[in-house]
Amino acid sequence: MKKIIKYFKEEFGIDEEVFKGYEFYEYKNSIYLMTKEAKDFSLEGKIIRKGIRIARLVRNGIKPTIDGIQIFGRYAKKNIIYLEEEDLKKILLGKDLHLELDIPNGYKILFYKNYPVGVGYFRDKKLKNQIPRSRRINLMI
């Protein structure tokens, strides 16, 4: 799937080589990634899908998933926002952030220290939380 590799390269500066050895497939407006061994693996019976969803196809393009970002975000060279601990806590609670950053609109990889924790959508100095509700945690802040 050249379009997904191109997307991660153009949007986040992730080299194509990072995706070597993986297979991609599209299923119900989502892009899944798996190893070549997983692609060839078969069980008796019906398998709904194989692999990990790394992106969704949305009306205006591609939306990276938290899984895709947590796996490949460490290779990113651009469109990164480093969070301080207090902002990380707010993100993990599902809140949006107001950030006085002069950066282009679009999806950003959210890092805490050197770890990619997720993805957000930045527009007009607002970082819209993209952490799925099922991944949010209840913190006492």
| pLDDT per residue as tens digits for the range 20-46 | 989 998 888 999 999 888 777 776 666
Is the distance from CB of 109 to CB of 116 less than 8 angstroms? yes
Give bridge partners of residue 118 from the DSSP assignment.
110
CATH 3.10.450.720 in the chain: give the residue spans: 79-141
Whether pLDDT at 105 is above 80: yes
DSSP H stretches of helix in the chain: 2-12, 36-40, 66-72, 85-92
Strands 80-83 and 106-112: parallel
Question: Per the structure block, which two tokens stand in for 17?
Answer: 């080589």
Is the distance from CB of 53 to CB of 32 less than 8 angstroms? yes
| pLDDT per residue as tens digits for the range 72-101 | 999 999 999 999 999 999 998 889 999 999
Record the pTM.
0.86
Q: What is the pLDDT, as a whole number, of residue 101?
A: 92
**Strands across the sheet with 22-27, in order?**
22-27, 30-35, 52-58, 61-64
Nearest-Å Rg of the Cα atoms of the chain is: 16
> Among 3.40.50.300, 1.10.3720.10, 3.30.750.24, 3.10.450.720, what is the CATH number of 79-141?
3.10.450.720
Whether pLDDT at 140 is above 80: no
Distance CA 52, CA 39 (A): 12
> Among 1.20.120, 3.90.105, 3.10.450, 3.40.50, what is the CATH number of 1-77?
3.10.450
